[in-house]
């Protein structure tokens, strides 16, 4: 062991897609995994972990400011909601929040969210960031990235990894030449997005990197998309886009282009493995085949998709095609990957009236294990990272399970992941580590009380209620 190397020993660890016993784990001086050895006694120099170790996951899709809206759009016929409440009426009400958030408020909201994500088992978040400008739509002074830096500061406050994705948002719809007045804080073009991504990457902040995003095909037309592709060129960074979330989007895309959204994207713009298709809820088999051939990944957001009534993705087909998959908490009505995986599987069970839809008998009989491992394997690319999980070269992020937690107590070791996803309630982590350092200890964060107080004060300002 080198002088700067750090050793951990776990009674169980999730290595190579299965539980292995008595695992010695070495972390290098950069905070990345150096090696793993199963079946080892604990050396005196190792830190003995109190429970089984799981990799964390990347939260691959977040709109942090929407955390301040969670729970405030659940009534029909009130607060601007009509008798018919759907995604589009929810969106109009959400814009009311977007129009009034200040930078200091965004930092408070994001810090609370990022702490909750850490407690939810995520140690990296991909922030699909389209709230860019002052309340009147004018640019902030200096580099114009005041709200981006507020998010970066919030992530640093918590110790969570952040992939910032400045969003190209230029049109209100397929046939619209510009944005609506209530979208004025979102207005960007390809040059703005590329300049923002470069500035964030040049800052050299720990645990911070940037990619780019296009809001959607309706908000970034063909010329916008091609302009951003030309600027990005062959740069190895993530490219995210909302796609095929709503049936109305399908109809509008067909009317404008003669093709469905994923078909149009794959044929006209040839995405590659850098691309992440967020939601991808409504698909046909040819589109899934095209996405699989491109190497692009999909980001599924079961909690938000359920909350907004988006629909159910064709999970069996995405799994059969081997398309890289990750999870997103999106609007943050849910903020833990355990709940997202439960929603993902249970939605399929309700829709198909079958059990263990994600399981692959003979190869991956556990639905929880197959979904978790698919999302673990799909976590690196959305965040622009080379590797993820308990693997040499990946950042040394991990979760320590509390064996006495609800749903885990008394379970045999090979059923721990099944119990965690389908039988647990509340937090199950004894500790959470980021880069080999503890971010949560005994389920608590050092700045938890201050972050919560700042968030509560912010919410009182925004909503004017106790």
Helices 416-423 and 337-352: angle between axes, nearest 10 degrees:
80
The two three-digit tokens of residue 366, written as one number: 């556990």
CATH number for the domain running over 58-383? 3.20.20.140
Nearest of 2, 3, 27 to residue 390 by alpha carbon? 27
Burial of residue 157, with CB atoms counted within 10 A of its CB: 0-12 exposed, 13-18 middle, 19 or more buried: buried
Report how far apart the first and last C-alpha atoms of the chain are (Å, whole number).
Answer: 55
Instruction: Catalogue the active-site residues.
Output: 279, 330
Confidence (pTM)? 0.97
Task: Tell me how far CA of residue 227 lies from CA of 109, 257, 270, in angstroms.
Answer: 33, 19, 14
Determine contact, residues 259/284, Cβ cutoff 8 Å. Answer: no
> How far, in Å, CA of 232 to CA of 211, rounded?
9
pLDDT for 265: 98
> How far, in Å, CA of 36 to CA of 209, rounded?
27
| N residues, the chain | 466
Q: How many CA atoms lie within 13 A of 189 on its CB side?
A: 5
Q: Where are the alpha helices (DSSP H) in 44-189?
A: 87-98, 103-119, 146-158
Homologous superfamily in CATH for domain 6-55+389-448: Urease, subunit C, domain 1 (2.30.40.10)
Burial of residue 460, with CB atoms counted within 10 A of its CB: 0-12 exposed, 13-18 middle, 19 or more buried: exposed
> Phi and psi for 186 in degrees, rounded to 5?
-100, -10
CB contact burial 429-440 (16+ within 10 A = b; e otherwise): bbbbbbbbeebb
> How far, in Å, CA of 34 to CA of 6, rounded?
9
For the four alpha carbons of 75, 81, 87 and 91, in that order, the dihedral sign comes to negative
Residues facing 39 on adjacent strands:
none
Domain boundaries along the sequence of the chain:
6-55+389-448, 58-383
Nearest of 267, 282, 277 to residue 222 by alpha carbon? 267
Task: Tell me how far CA of residue 41 lies from CA of 10, 33, 44, 49, in angstroms.
Answer: 10, 19, 10, 13
Determine contact, residues 389/379, Cβ cutoff 8 Å. Answer: yes
pLDDT for 84: 78
Angle 146-332-200 from CA coordinates, rounded to 5°: 30
Residues facing 13 on adjacent strands:
20, 53
> How far, in Å, CA of 220 to CA of 157, rounded?
33
Q: Which segments of the chain have a pLDDT < 70?
A: 1-3, 79-83, 465-466
The two three-digit tokens of residue 111, written as one number: 């810090």
CB contact burial 178-196 (16+ within 10 A = b; e otherwise): ebeeebbbbbbebebbbbb
Determine contact, residues 263/275, Cβ cutoff 8 Å. Answer: no
């Amino acid at each position: 062991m080198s002088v700067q190397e750090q050793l951990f020993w776990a009674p169980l660890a999730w290595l190579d897609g299965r539980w292995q016993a008595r695992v010695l784990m070495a972390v290098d001086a950069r905070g990345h995994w150096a090696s793993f050895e199963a079946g080892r006694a604990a050396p005196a120099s190792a830190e003995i972990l109190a429970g089984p170790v799981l990799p964390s996951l990347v939260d691959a899709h977040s709109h942090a400011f929407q955390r301040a809206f969670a729970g405030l759009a659940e009534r029909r016929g009130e607060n601007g909601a009509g008798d018919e409440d759907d995604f589009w009426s929810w969106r109009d009400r959400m814009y009311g929040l977007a129009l009034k958030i200040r930078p200091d408020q965004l930092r408070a909201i994001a810090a609370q969210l990022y702490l909750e994500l850490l407690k939810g088992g995520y140690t990296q978040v991909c922030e699909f960031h389209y709230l860019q400008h002052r309340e009147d739509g004018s640019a902030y002074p200096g580099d114009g990235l005041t709200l981006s830096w507020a998010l970066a500061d919030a992530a640093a406050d918590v110790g969570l990894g952040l992939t910032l994705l400045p969003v190209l948002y230029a049109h209100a719809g397929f046939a619209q030449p510009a944005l609506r007045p209530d979208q004025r804080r979102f207005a960007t073009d390809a040059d703005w997005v590329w300049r923002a991504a470069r500035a964030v990457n040049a800052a050299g902040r720990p645990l911070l990197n940037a990619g780019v995003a296009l809001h959607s095909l309706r908000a970034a037309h063909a010329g916008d998309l091609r302009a951003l592709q030309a600027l990005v060129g062959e740069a190895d960074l993530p490219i995210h886009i909302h796609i095929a979330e709503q049936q109305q989007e399908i109809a509008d895309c067909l009317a404008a282009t003669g093709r469905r959204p994923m078909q149009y994207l794959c044929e006209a713009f040839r995405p590659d493995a850098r691309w992440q298709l967020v939601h991808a809820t409504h698909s046909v088999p040819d589109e899934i085949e095209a996405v699989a051939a491109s190497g692009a990944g999909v980001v599924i957001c079961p909690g938000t998709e359920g909350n907004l009534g988006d629909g159910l993705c064709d999970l069996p087909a995405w799994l059969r095609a081997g398309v890289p998959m990750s999870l997103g908490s999106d609007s943050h009505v849910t903020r833990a990957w355990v709940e997202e995986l439960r929603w993902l599987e249970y939605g399929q069970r309700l829709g198909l009236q079958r059990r263990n839809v994600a399981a692959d008998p003979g190869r991956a009989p556990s639905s929880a294990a197959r979904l978790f491992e698919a999302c673990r394997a799909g976590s690196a690319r959305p965040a622009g990272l080379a590797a993820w999980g308990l693997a040499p070269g990946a950042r040394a992020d991990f979760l320590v399970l509390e064996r006495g937690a609800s749903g885990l107590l008394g379970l045999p070791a090979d059923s721990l992941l099944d119990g965690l996803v389908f039988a647990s309630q509340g937090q199950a982590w004894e500790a959470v580590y980021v880069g080999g350092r503890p971010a949560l200890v005994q389920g608590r964060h050092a700045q938890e009380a201050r972050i919560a107080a700042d968030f509560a004060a912010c919410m009182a300002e925004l909503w004017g209620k106790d």
